[in-house]
């Protein structure tokens, strides 16, 4: 089940709980802490298994017609069980209901790291399409791949 969370403190608590178990992807502490801090102001969806939170996804507005999947995490033991797809599907529903026309996501370019290649394949399987690579947006070792999808 995927639910919306509105309380800023609950958002930060969930984000911290999940992201601190996923340090392979969120290893830079300053970046992880920024996600935890900033998620309080974003659209926040949480995946639950019974009463246990097992993942979350945040959307932030990047333009009057565009929302960005800013951060997402699913507990490792639930990877490859459809939880991420359910979060993205709910995010699409929420974004469309809020009047957005496009969704984007940024990740590390395919071919750089095996873990991020799985992330790229996940986004593609959700319907995202490659838009552009910004080789130096983050740094040389982490070229930024931007994916987009139409919500219409």
pLDDT-derived band at 89, boundaries 50, 70, 90: very high
What is the mean predicted confidence (pLDDT) over 99-104?
Answer: 98
- Check residue 18 and give its pLDDT: 96
Do 108 and 142 touch, CB atoms closer than 8 A?
A: yes
Cα–Cα distances (Å) from 32 to 24, 44, 89, 92, 133, in that order, read 11, 16, 24, 24, 22
Residue percentage of the chain with pLDDT more than 70: 100
For residue 96, how many other CB atoms are within 10 A of its CB?
Answer: 14
Q: Which of 8, 19, 86 is nearest to 49 (CA)?
A: 86
pLDDT-derived band at 125, boundaries 50, 70, 90: very high
The domain ranges of the chain are: 2-150
- Say whether pLDDT at 136 is over 90: no
What is the fold of 2-150?
Aminopeptidase (3.40.630)
pLDDT-derived band at 32, boundaries 50, 70, 90: very high
What's the mean per-residue pLDDT of the chain?
Answer: 94
Give the single-character DSSP code of 109: P
Predicted confidence (pLDDT) per residue in 104-121, tens digit = 999 999 989 888 898 899
What is the mean predicted confidence (pLDDT) over 34-56?
Answer: 96
Q: How far apart are CA 27 and CA 80, in angstroms?
A: 21
Give the pTM: 0.91
């Amino acid at each position: 089940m995927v639910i919306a969370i509105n309380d800023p403190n609950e958002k930060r608590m969930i984000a911290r709980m999940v992201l601190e178990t996923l340090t392979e992807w969120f290893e830079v502490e300053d970046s992880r802490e920024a996600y935890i801090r900033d998620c309080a102001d974003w659209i926040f969806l949480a995946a639950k298994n019974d009463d246990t939170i097992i993942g979350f996804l945040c959307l932030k507005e990047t333009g009057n017609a565009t929302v960005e999947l800013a951060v997402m995490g699913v507990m490792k033991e639930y990877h490859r069980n459809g939880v991420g797809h359910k979060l993205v599907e709910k995010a699409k529903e929420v974004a469309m209901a809020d009047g957005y026309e496009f969704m984007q996501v940024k990740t590390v370019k395919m071919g750089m790291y095996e873990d991020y290649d799985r992330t790229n394949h996940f986004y593609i399987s959700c319907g995202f399409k490659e838009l552009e690579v910004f080789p130096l947006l983050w740094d040389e070792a982490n070229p930024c791949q931007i994916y987009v999808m139409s919500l219409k």
